[in-house]
Structure 1
Protein backbone atom coordinates (compact mmCIF):
# COMPACT_ATOMS: atom_id res chain seq x y z
CA UNK A 1 0.00 0.00 0.00
CA UNK A 2 1.51 3.38 -1.00
CA UNK A 3 1.75 5.54 2.12
CA UNK A 4 1.78 9.34 2.18
CA UNK A 5 3.50 11.31 4.94
CA UNK A 6 2.42 14.94 4.83
CA UNK A 7 4.88 17.05 6.81
CA UNK A 8 3.58 20.21 8.50
CA UNK A 9 5.24 22.87 10.61
CA UNK A 10 3.72 25.59 12.76
CA UNK A 11 2.13 28.20 10.51
CA UNK A 12 1.43 25.93 7.53
CA UNK A 13 -1.14 27.11 5.00
CA UNK A 14 -4.45 25.24 5.05
CA UNK A 15 -4.94 25.25 1.28
CA UNK A 16 -1.84 23.15 0.76
CA UNK A 17 -3.61 20.26 2.48
CA UNK A 18 -6.24 20.18 -0.29
CA UNK A 19 -3.81 18.04 -2.29
CA UNK A 20 -4.44 15.16 0.11
CA UNK A 21 -8.00 14.88 -1.19
CA UNK A 22 -6.61 13.49 -4.45
CA UNK A 23 -5.40 10.41 -2.59
CA UNK A 24 -8.72 10.07 -0.74
CA UNK A 25 -10.64 10.20 -4.03
CA UNK A 26 -8.23 7.72 -5.59
CA UNK A 27 -9.07 5.30 -2.76
CA UNK A 28 -12.76 5.78 -3.55
CA UNK A 29 -12.18 5.24 -7.28
CA UNK A 30 -10.25 2.04 -6.61
CA UNK A 31 -12.79 0.81 -4.07
CA UNK A 32 -10.11 0.11 -1.47
CA UNK A 33 -7.66 1.87 0.79
CA UNK A 34 -4.87 2.09 -1.75
CA UNK A 35 -3.27 5.08 -0.01
CA UNK A 36 -2.62 5.42 3.70
CA UNK A 37 -2.31 9.14 4.46
CA UNK A 38 -0.84 10.46 7.68
CA UNK A 39 -0.04 14.01 8.75
CA UNK A 40 3.23 14.20 10.64
CA UNK A 41 5.27 16.80 12.48
CA UNK A 42 8.51 16.91 14.41
CA UNK A 43 6.97 16.32 17.84
CA UNK A 44 3.43 15.24 17.00
CA UNK A 45 0.33 16.65 18.64
CA UNK A 46 -1.50 19.84 17.64
CA UNK A 47 0.11 22.07 15.01
CA UNK A 48 -1.29 25.55 14.33
CA UNK A 49 -2.00 26.75 10.78
CA UNK A 50 -2.24 30.23 9.27
CA UNK A 51 -5.93 30.54 10.17
CA UNK A 52 -5.13 30.03 13.82
CA UNK A 53 -6.67 26.64 14.54
CA UNK A 54 -4.74 23.42 15.04
CA UNK A 55 -4.77 19.94 13.56
CA UNK A 56 -3.61 16.79 15.28
CA UNK A 57 -0.43 15.21 13.92
CA UNK A 58 1.65 12.11 14.49
CA UNK A 59 5.35 12.39 15.34
CA UNK A 60 7.49 11.12 12.55
CA UNK A 61 9.58 8.09 13.24
CA UNK A 62 11.77 5.71 11.30
CA UNK A 63 8.88 4.18 9.37
CA UNK A 64 9.28 6.39 6.33
CA UNK A 65 6.39 6.68 3.89
CA UNK A 66 6.44 5.72 0.24
CA UNK A 67 5.89 9.41 -0.60
CA UNK A 68 6.90 12.31 1.65
CA UNK A 69 5.27 15.69 0.99
CA UNK A 70 6.10 19.04 2.58
CA UNK A 71 3.30 21.59 2.87
CA UNK A 72 3.65 25.27 2.12
CA UNK A 73 3.19 28.48 4.07
CA UNK A 74 2.76 32.17 3.34
CA UNK A 75 6.33 32.63 4.51
CA UNK A 76 9.41 31.18 2.87
CA UNK A 77 10.60 29.29 5.93
CA UNK A 78 13.24 26.59 5.63
CA UNK A 79 12.18 24.45 8.59
CA UNK A 80 13.90 23.53 11.83
CA UNK A 81 17.10 21.46 11.88
CA UNK A 82 14.93 18.49 12.86
CA UNK A 83 12.72 18.96 9.79
CA UNK A 84 15.75 19.21 7.51
CA UNK A 85 17.31 16.04 8.92
CA UNK A 86 14.01 14.20 8.52
CA UNK A 87 13.67 15.25 4.87
CA UNK A 88 17.26 14.21 4.17
CA UNK A 89 16.61 10.80 5.72
CA UNK A 90 13.27 10.52 3.89
CA UNK A 91 15.00 11.14 0.58
CA UNK A 92 16.97 7.92 1.18
CA UNK A 93 13.95 5.82 2.17
CA UNK A 94 10.91 7.28 0.39
CA UNK A 95 10.30 6.43 -3.25
CA UNK A 96 9.27 10.03 -3.92
CA UNK A 97 9.53 13.34 -2.12
CA UNK A 98 7.53 16.46 -2.95
CA UNK A 99 7.19 20.10 -1.93
CA UNK A 100 3.99 22.09 -2.36
CA UNK A 101 4.41 25.81 -2.99
CA UNK A 102 6.97 27.21 -0.51
CA UNK A 103 7.54 23.67 0.74
CA UNK A 104 10.23 23.74 -1.95
CA UNK A 105 12.33 25.91 0.38
CA UNK A 106 12.57 23.07 2.89
CA UNK A 107 13.65 20.65 0.17
CA UNK A 108 16.21 23.17 -1.08
CA UNK A 109 17.58 23.73 2.45
CA UNK A 110 17.94 19.96 2.79
CA UNK A 111 19.99 19.91 -0.43
CA UNK A 112 17.41 17.78 -2.21
CA UNK A 113 16.98 20.24 -5.08
CA UNK A 114 20.67 20.75 -5.85
CA UNK A 115 21.17 20.30 -9.57
CA UNK A 116 17.47 19.64 -10.08
CA UNK A 117 14.66 21.53 -11.78
CA UNK A 118 12.01 22.83 -9.38
CA UNK A 119 9.00 25.10 -9.16
CA UNK A 120 7.43 27.22 -6.45
CA UNK A 121 4.89 30.04 -6.27
CA UNK A 122 5.77 32.73 -8.81
CA UNK A 123 6.03 35.39 -6.06
CA UNK A 124 8.85 33.45 -4.36
CA UNK A 125 10.64 31.94 -7.36
CA UNK A 126 13.27 34.66 -7.74
CA UNK A 127 14.15 34.53 -4.03
CA UNK A 128 14.40 30.73 -4.16
CA UNK A 129 16.83 30.97 -7.07
CA UNK A 130 18.92 33.64 -5.31
CA UNK A 131 19.04 31.77 -2.01
CA UNK A 132 19.77 28.37 -3.58
CA UNK A 133 21.75 28.95 -6.80
CA UNK A 134 22.26 25.21 -7.36
CA UNK A 135 18.52 24.81 -7.97
CA UNK A 136 17.23 25.21 -11.52
CA UNK A 137 14.08 27.18 -10.68
CA UNK A 138 11.38 27.07 -13.35
CA UNK A 139 9.29 30.01 -12.20
CA UNK A 140 6.49 29.58 -14.73
CA UNK A 141 5.65 25.90 -14.19
CA UNK A 142 2.57 24.46 -12.50
CA UNK A 143 4.65 21.59 -11.17
CA UNK A 144 7.97 19.97 -11.97
CA UNK A 145 9.17 16.39 -11.67
CA UNK A 146 12.89 15.80 -11.69
CA UNK A 147 13.57 12.16 -10.92
CA UNK A 148 12.02 11.23 -7.56
CA UNK A 149 11.60 14.87 -6.51
CA UNK A 150 8.40 16.77 -7.30
CA UNK A 151 7.62 20.43 -6.61
CA UNK A 152 4.54 22.55 -7.33
CA UNK A 153 3.75 26.22 -7.76
CA UNK A 154 1.00 27.75 -5.60
CA UNK A 155 -1.22 25.87 -3.17
CA UNK A 156 -3.86 24.88 -5.73
CA UNK A 157 -1.10 23.54 -7.99
CA UNK A 158 -0.48 20.97 -5.27
CA UNK A 159 -3.72 19.33 -6.41
CA UNK A 160 -2.31 19.02 -9.93
CA UNK A 161 0.86 17.51 -8.50
CA UNK A 162 -1.09 15.04 -6.32
CA UNK A 163 -3.23 13.94 -9.26
CA UNK A 164 -0.04 13.40 -11.26
CA UNK A 165 1.28 11.20 -8.44
CA UNK A 166 -1.97 9.20 -8.53
CA UNK A 167 -1.62 8.82 -12.29
CA UNK A 168 1.98 7.71 -11.81
CA UNK A 169 0.80 5.01 -9.39
CA UNK A 170 -2.50 3.81 -10.84
CA UNK A 171 -2.84 5.22 -14.34
CA UNK A 172 -4.75 7.99 -16.02
CA UNK A 173 -8.21 6.49 -15.60
CA UNK A 174 -8.04 6.43 -11.80
CA UNK A 175 -6.57 9.93 -11.72
CA UNK A 176 -9.39 11.07 -13.99
CA UNK A 177 -12.02 9.55 -11.71
CA UNK A 178 -10.41 11.21 -8.69
CA UNK A 179 -10.36 14.57 -10.47
CA UNK A 180 -14.02 14.25 -11.44
CA UNK A 181 -14.95 13.52 -7.83
CA UNK A 182 -13.11 16.70 -6.85
CA UNK A 183 -14.81 18.63 -9.69
CA UNK A 184 -11.49 19.71 -11.18
CA UNK A 185 -9.80 19.06 -14.51
CA UNK A 186 -7.85 15.80 -14.71
CA UNK A 187 -4.80 17.88 -14.02
CA UNK A 188 -3.02 20.73 -15.65
CA UNK A 189 0.16 19.44 -17.27
CA UNK A 190 3.29 20.19 -15.30
CA UNK A 191 4.70 22.34 -18.08
CA UNK A 192 1.68 24.62 -18.14
CA UNK A 193 2.15 28.23 -17.09
CA UNK A 194 1.11 29.37 -13.62
CA UNK A 195 -0.71 32.23 -15.29
CA UNK A 196 -3.98 32.20 -17.21
CA UNK A 197 -4.52 34.52 -20.18
CA UNK A 198 -8.06 35.24 -19.05
CA UNK A 199 -6.82 36.18 -15.57
CA UNK A 200 -4.08 38.40 -16.95
CA UNK A 201 -6.47 40.31 -19.22
CA UNK A 202 -8.87 40.97 -16.31
CA UNK A 203 -11.77 42.52 -18.23
CA UNK A 204 -13.95 44.77 -16.08
CA UNK A 205 -17.29 44.33 -17.84
CA UNK A 206 -19.37 41.22 -18.41
CA UNK A 207 -19.58 42.04 -22.12
CA UNK A 208 -15.84 41.85 -22.72
CA UNK A 209 -15.56 38.82 -20.45
CA UNK A 210 -18.31 37.14 -22.47
CA UNK A 211 -16.42 37.82 -25.70
CA UNK A 212 -13.22 36.33 -24.29
CA UNK A 213 -15.01 33.20 -23.12
CA UNK A 214 -16.60 32.90 -26.56
CA UNK A 215 -13.14 33.17 -28.12
CA UNK A 216 -11.66 30.57 -25.78
CA UNK A 217 -14.46 28.12 -26.58
CA UNK A 218 -14.23 28.65 -30.36
CA UNK A 219 -10.51 28.94 -31.08
CA UNK A 220 -10.78 26.89 -34.27
CA UNK A 221 -12.94 29.60 -35.83
CA UNK A 222 -11.60 32.73 -37.53
CA UNK A 223 -12.90 34.89 -34.63
CA UNK A 224 -13.27 38.18 -36.46
CA UNK A 225 -13.88 41.43 -34.58
CA UNK A 226 -17.44 41.30 -35.90
CA UNK A 227 -18.05 37.87 -34.37
CA UNK A 228 -16.55 38.86 -31.01
CA UNK A 229 -18.50 42.12 -31.00
CA UNK A 230 -21.70 40.22 -31.68
CA UNK A 231 -21.03 37.91 -28.71
CA UNK A 232 -20.64 41.04 -26.56
CA UNK A 233 -23.79 42.67 -28.02
CA UNK A 234 -21.76 45.65 -29.22
CA UNK A 235 -20.95 47.20 -32.57
CA UNK A 236 -17.47 46.33 -33.88
CA UNK A 237 -16.30 49.89 -33.30
CA UNK A 238 -17.65 50.04 -29.73
CA UNK A 239 -16.25 46.61 -29.01
CA UNK A 240 -12.72 47.37 -30.23
CA UNK A 241 -12.57 50.60 -28.22
CA UNK A 242 -13.97 49.07 -25.03
CA UNK A 243 -11.82 45.94 -25.36
CA UNK A 244 -8.61 47.96 -25.55
CA UNK A 245 -9.68 50.21 -22.68
CA UNK A 246 -10.36 47.22 -20.41
CA UNK A 247 -7.53 44.87 -21.35
CA UNK A 248 -4.83 47.10 -22.81
CA UNK A 249 -4.69 44.85 -25.89
CA UNK A 250 -6.34 44.62 -29.26
CA UNK A 251 -8.86 41.79 -29.74
CA UNK A 252 -6.53 40.16 -32.27
CA UNK A 253 -3.58 40.11 -29.85
CA UNK A 254 -5.73 38.72 -27.02
CA UNK A 255 -7.06 35.95 -29.26
CA UNK A 256 -3.50 35.09 -30.28
CA UNK A 257 -2.52 34.74 -26.61
CA UNK A 258 -5.49 32.47 -25.98
CA UNK A 259 -4.43 30.34 -28.94
CA UNK A 260 -0.85 30.17 -27.72
CA UNK A 261 -2.00 29.11 -24.25
CA UNK A 262 -4.20 26.37 -25.72
CA UNK A 263 -1.42 25.24 -28.06
CA UNK A 264 1.06 24.91 -25.19
CA UNK A 265 -1.42 22.82 -23.22
CA UNK A 266 -1.94 20.48 -26.18
CA UNK A 267 1.79 20.21 -26.72
CA UNK A 268 2.29 19.34 -23.04
CA UNK A 269 -0.26 16.54 -23.35
CA UNK A 270 1.79 15.14 -26.24
CA UNK A 271 -1.08 13.41 -28.02
CA UNK A 272 -1.26 15.61 -31.13
CA UNK A 273 1.15 16.44 -33.92
CA UNK A 274 2.19 20.05 -34.46
CA UNK A 275 -0.09 20.26 -37.50
CA UNK A 276 -3.05 19.06 -35.43
CA UNK A 277 -2.25 21.54 -32.65
CA UNK A 278 -2.13 24.38 -35.19
CA UNK A 279 -5.52 23.41 -36.66
CA UNK A 280 -7.22 22.82 -33.30
CA UNK A 281 -6.12 26.18 -31.91
CA UNK A 282 -7.06 28.23 -34.96
CA UNK A 283 -3.60 29.05 -36.28
CA UNK A 284 -4.65 27.27 -39.48
CA UNK A 285 -1.15 26.08 -40.32
CA UNK A 286 2.06 25.15 -38.57
CA UNK A 287 4.10 28.06 -39.95
CA UNK A 288 1.69 30.69 -38.66
CA UNK A 289 1.79 29.05 -35.23
CA UNK A 290 5.59 28.95 -35.32
CA UNK A 291 5.79 32.71 -36.01
CA UNK A 292 3.39 33.46 -33.15
CA UNK A 293 5.47 31.37 -30.73
CA UNK A 294 8.68 33.16 -31.73
CA UNK A 295 7.01 36.57 -31.36
CA UNK A 296 5.77 35.79 -27.86
CA UNK A 297 8.24 33.28 -26.37
CA UNK A 298 11.34 33.85 -28.49
CA UNK A 299 11.39 30.14 -29.40
CA UNK A 300 9.60 27.93 -31.91
CA UNK A 301 7.02 25.45 -30.56
CA UNK A 302 9.31 22.48 -31.21
CA UNK A 303 11.95 23.88 -28.84
CA UNK A 304 9.36 24.48 -26.12
CA UNK A 305 7.97 20.97 -26.50
CA UNK A 306 11.47 19.48 -26.14
CA UNK A 307 12.09 21.60 -23.01
CA UNK A 308 8.88 20.33 -21.39
CA UNK A 309 9.58 16.68 -22.21
Structure 2
Protein backbone atom coordinates (compact mmCIF):
# COMPACT_ATOMS: atom_id res chain seq x y z
CA UNK A 1 0.00 0.00 0.00
CA UNK A 2 1.29 3.44 -0.93
CA UNK A 3 0.33 6.51 1.13
CA UNK A 4 1.08 9.74 -0.72
CA UNK A 5 1.15 13.08 1.13
CA UNK A 6 0.83 16.11 -1.15
CA UNK A 7 2.93 19.14 -0.13
CA UNK A 8 3.60 22.57 -1.63
CA UNK A 9 5.32 25.86 -0.87
CA UNK A 10 4.06 27.38 2.40
CA UNK A 11 2.46 24.11 3.50
CA UNK A 12 2.07 23.84 7.27
CA UNK A 13 4.95 21.69 8.53
CA UNK A 14 3.00 19.61 11.04
CA UNK A 15 0.26 19.05 8.46
CA UNK A 16 2.58 16.70 6.60
CA UNK A 17 5.16 15.81 9.25
CA UNK A 18 2.44 14.70 11.70
CA UNK A 19 0.72 12.24 9.33
CA UNK A 20 4.11 11.06 8.04
CA UNK A 21 5.15 10.25 11.62
CA UNK A 22 1.89 8.40 12.30
CA UNK A 23 2.15 6.21 9.20
CA UNK A 24 5.87 5.53 9.58
CA UNK A 25 5.47 4.70 13.29
CA UNK A 26 2.59 2.31 12.52
CA UNK A 27 4.93 0.45 10.16
CA UNK A 28 7.13 -0.50 13.12
CA UNK A 29 4.39 -2.79 14.42
CA UNK A 30 3.52 -4.45 11.10
CA UNK A 31 5.09 -7.53 9.59
CA UNK A 32 7.38 -6.59 6.73
CA UNK A 33 5.02 -7.96 4.07
CA UNK A 34 2.15 -5.84 5.48
CA UNK A 35 4.01 -2.54 5.74
CA UNK A 36 3.03 0.46 3.63
CA UNK A 37 5.19 3.00 1.81
CA UNK A 38 4.85 6.67 2.74
CA UNK A 39 5.92 9.33 0.23
CA UNK A 40 5.90 13.09 -0.02
CA UNK A 41 4.61 14.27 -3.40
CA UNK A 42 4.79 17.77 -4.87
CA UNK A 43 3.93 19.40 -8.16
CA UNK A 44 7.58 19.13 -9.20
CA UNK A 45 10.46 16.98 -7.96
CA UNK A 46 12.28 19.96 -6.48
CA UNK A 47 12.64 21.36 -2.95
CA UNK A 48 9.48 22.68 -1.29
CA UNK A 49 9.71 25.59 1.13
CA UNK A 50 7.12 24.98 3.82
CA UNK A 51 5.96 27.45 6.48
CA UNK A 52 8.72 29.09 8.48
CA UNK A 53 11.32 28.32 5.82
CA UNK A 54 11.29 24.56 6.47
CA UNK A 55 12.84 23.05 3.34
CA UNK A 56 11.90 19.52 2.29
CA UNK A 57 12.60 17.39 -0.78
CA UNK A 58 9.60 15.46 -2.11
CA UNK A 59 9.99 11.83 -3.12
CA UNK A 60 7.94 12.20 -6.31
CA UNK A 61 6.27 14.73 -8.57
CA UNK A 62 2.62 14.58 -9.57
CA UNK A 63 3.69 13.56 -13.07
CA UNK A 64 5.76 10.58 -11.95
CA UNK A 65 4.89 8.50 -8.90
CA UNK A 66 3.75 4.98 -8.02
CA UNK A 67 0.01 4.28 -7.76
CA UNK A 68 -1.45 5.93 -4.65
CA UNK A 69 -3.80 3.99 -2.37
CA UNK A 70 -4.25 6.75 0.22
CA UNK A 71 -3.85 10.43 -0.63
CA UNK A 72 -3.41 13.07 2.09
CA UNK A 73 -3.55 16.71 0.96
CA UNK A 74 -2.13 19.11 3.51
CA UNK A 75 -2.96 22.69 4.39
CA UNK A 76 -1.03 25.90 4.74
CA UNK A 77 -1.10 29.05 2.64
CA UNK A 78 -3.28 27.42 -0.01
CA UNK A 79 -4.58 30.45 -1.91
CA UNK A 80 -2.18 30.08 -4.83
CA UNK A 81 -2.12 26.29 -4.80
CA UNK A 82 -5.89 26.04 -5.16
CA UNK A 83 -5.67 27.99 -8.45
CA UNK A 84 -3.41 25.41 -10.07
CA UNK A 85 -5.70 23.40 -12.31
CA UNK A 86 -2.92 20.89 -12.99
CA UNK A 87 -2.83 20.12 -9.26
CA UNK A 88 -6.59 19.92 -8.67
CA UNK A 89 -7.03 17.79 -11.80
CA UNK A 90 -4.32 15.46 -10.48
CA UNK A 91 -6.07 15.22 -7.11
CA UNK A 92 -9.34 14.34 -8.83
CA UNK A 93 -7.59 11.73 -10.98
CA UNK A 94 -5.85 10.08 -8.01
CA UNK A 95 -9.14 10.05 -6.07
CA UNK A 96 -10.77 7.91 -8.75
CA UNK A 97 -8.59 4.92 -7.87
CA UNK A 98 -7.46 5.63 -4.28
CA UNK A 99 -8.98 3.72 -1.37
CA UNK A 100 -9.04 6.83 0.80
CA UNK A 101 -8.53 10.57 0.27
CA UNK A 102 -7.93 12.89 3.20
CA UNK A 103 -7.11 16.50 3.91
CA UNK A 104 -5.50 18.31 6.80
CA UNK A 105 -6.52 21.87 7.63
CA UNK A 106 -6.95 24.02 4.49
CA UNK A 107 -6.13 21.06 2.29
CA UNK A 108 -9.93 20.78 2.21
CA UNK A 109 -9.97 23.75 -0.18
CA UNK A 110 -7.94 21.74 -2.70
CA UNK A 111 -10.24 18.74 -2.36
CA UNK A 112 -13.25 21.01 -2.82
CA UNK A 113 -11.73 22.66 -5.87
CA UNK A 114 -11.07 19.18 -7.28
CA UNK A 115 -14.80 18.51 -7.03
CA UNK A 116 -14.57 15.83 -4.36
CA UNK A 117 -16.52 17.33 -1.45
CA UNK A 118 -19.84 18.59 -2.84
CA UNK A 119 -22.76 17.52 -0.65
CA UNK A 120 -20.50 16.10 2.04
CA UNK A 121 -19.86 16.89 5.69
CA UNK A 122 -16.36 18.36 5.94
CA UNK A 123 -14.16 20.38 8.26
CA UNK A 124 -11.03 22.52 8.23
CA UNK A 125 -9.12 24.83 10.56
CA UNK A 126 -11.57 26.78 12.74
CA UNK A 127 -10.27 30.05 11.29
CA UNK A 128 -11.12 28.96 7.74
CA UNK A 129 -14.52 27.32 8.20
CA UNK A 130 -16.49 30.39 7.13
CA UNK A 131 -14.31 30.92 4.05
CA UNK A 132 -14.65 27.28 3.03
CA UNK A 133 -18.42 27.41 3.37
CA UNK A 134 -18.65 30.66 1.43
CA UNK A 135 -16.35 29.51 -1.36
CA UNK A 136 -18.08 26.13 -1.73
CA UNK A 137 -21.75 26.47 -0.68
CA UNK A 138 -22.52 22.83 -1.56
CA UNK A 139 -20.39 21.68 1.38
CA UNK A 140 -21.72 21.11 4.88
CA UNK A 141 -18.88 22.55 6.95
CA UNK A 142 -18.71 21.17 10.49
CA UNK A 143 -17.14 23.27 13.22
CA UNK A 144 -15.54 22.28 16.52
CA UNK A 145 -14.64 18.76 15.42
CA UNK A 146 -11.22 17.18 14.96
CA UNK A 147 -12.08 15.30 11.78
CA UNK A 148 -15.09 14.28 9.72
CA UNK A 149 -15.39 10.93 7.98
CA UNK A 150 -17.54 10.82 4.84
CA UNK A 151 -16.40 7.64 3.13
CA UNK A 152 -14.10 7.37 1.32
CA UNK A 153 -13.09 10.94 2.24
CA UNK A 154 -11.84 12.27 5.55
CA UNK A 155 -11.19 15.94 6.33
CA UNK A 156 -9.56 17.23 9.49
CA UNK A 157 -9.26 20.47 11.35
CA UNK A 158 -5.95 22.28 11.68
CA UNK A 159 -2.41 21.10 12.25
CA UNK A 160 -2.45 18.70 15.24
CA UNK A 161 -5.90 17.44 14.25
CA UNK A 162 -4.17 15.87 11.25
CA UNK A 163 -2.43 13.49 13.66
CA UNK A 164 -5.78 12.50 15.17
CA UNK A 165 -7.16 11.90 11.67
CA UNK A 166 -4.10 9.92 10.57
CA UNK A 167 -4.51 7.62 13.56
CA UNK A 168 -8.14 7.17 12.54
CA UNK A 169 -6.91 6.26 9.05
CA UNK A 170 -4.58 3.64 10.54
CA UNK A 171 -7.57 2.17 12.37
CA UNK A 172 -9.61 2.12 9.15
CA UNK A 173 -6.84 0.64 7.02
CA UNK A 174 -5.70 -1.91 9.63
CA UNK A 175 -7.31 -2.09 13.05
CA UNK A 176 -8.04 0.04 16.10
CA UNK A 177 -5.40 -1.67 18.22
CA UNK A 178 -2.66 -0.67 15.77
CA UNK A 179 -3.77 2.96 15.92
CA UNK A 180 -3.77 2.86 19.72
CA UNK A 181 -0.32 1.27 19.77
CA UNK A 182 0.95 3.92 17.36
CA UNK A 183 -0.44 6.77 19.48
CA UNK A 184 1.14 5.28 22.60
CA UNK A 185 4.51 4.93 20.88
CA UNK A 186 4.31 8.58 19.81
CA UNK A 187 3.25 9.59 23.35
CA UNK A 188 0.30 11.32 21.73
CA UNK A 189 -3.04 11.77 23.47
CA UNK A 190 -5.31 10.64 20.64
CA UNK A 191 -8.57 12.62 20.57
CA UNK A 192 -11.28 10.26 19.32
CA UNK A 193 -13.83 12.14 17.32
CA UNK A 194 -17.59 11.67 17.89
CA UNK A 195 -18.64 13.56 14.74
CA UNK A 196 -18.60 10.94 12.00
CA UNK A 197 -20.66 11.13 8.83
CA UNK A 198 -20.83 8.00 6.68
CA UNK A 199 -22.57 7.50 3.39
CA distance in 1, matches of 2:54, 2:7: 14
The Cα of 1:65 is off from its aligned counterpart by: 0.6
> 169, 172, 196: which is aligned to 1:165?
169
**Aligned with 1:173: secondary structure?**
helix
> 58, 61, 69: which is aligned to 1:59?
61
What do residues 147-200 of structure 1 show as CA deviations (whole Å, max 9, x unaligned)?
Answer: 111100011000011000101111111111100011012x322336xxxxxxxx
What do residues 80-115 of structure 1 show as CA deviations (whole Å, max 9, x unaligned)?
Answer: 111101101011011111110000000011110001
**Residue 16 (str. 1) matches residue 18 (str. 2):** no
Cα distance change of structure 1 residues 26 and 124 upon mapping to structure 2, 3 Å threshold: same
Which residue of the partner structure matches residue 152 of structure 2?
Answer: 148
Contact 1:9–1:79 (Cα < 8 Å) also in 2: no
The Cα of 1:63 is off from its aligned counterpart by: 3.4
1:254-269 paired onto structure 2 within 5 Å: none
**Residue 85 (str. 1) matches residue 89 (str. 2):** yes
**Aligned with 2:96: secondary structure?**
helix
Higher relative contact order (CA 8 A, sep 6+): 2
Q: Alignment RMSD, CA only?
A: 2.0
Contact 1:126–1:139 (Cα < 8 Å) also in 2: no
The Cα of 1:53 is off from its aligned counterpart by: 3.3
Q: With the length of structure 1 as denominator, give the TM-score of the two structures.
A: 0.59
The Cα of 1:75 is off from its aligned counterpart by: 4.8
Contact 1:27–1:34 (Cα < 8 Å) also in 2: yes
**Aligned with 1:30: secondary structure?**
coil
Give 5+ residue unaligned stretches, structure 2: none
Aligned residues: 194
Contact 1:76–1:102 (Cα < 8 Å) also in 2: no
Whichever structure has more strand as a proportion of its residues is: 2
1:188-227 paired onto structure 2 within 5 Å: 188-191=191-194
CA distance in 1, matches of 2:103, 2:79: 12
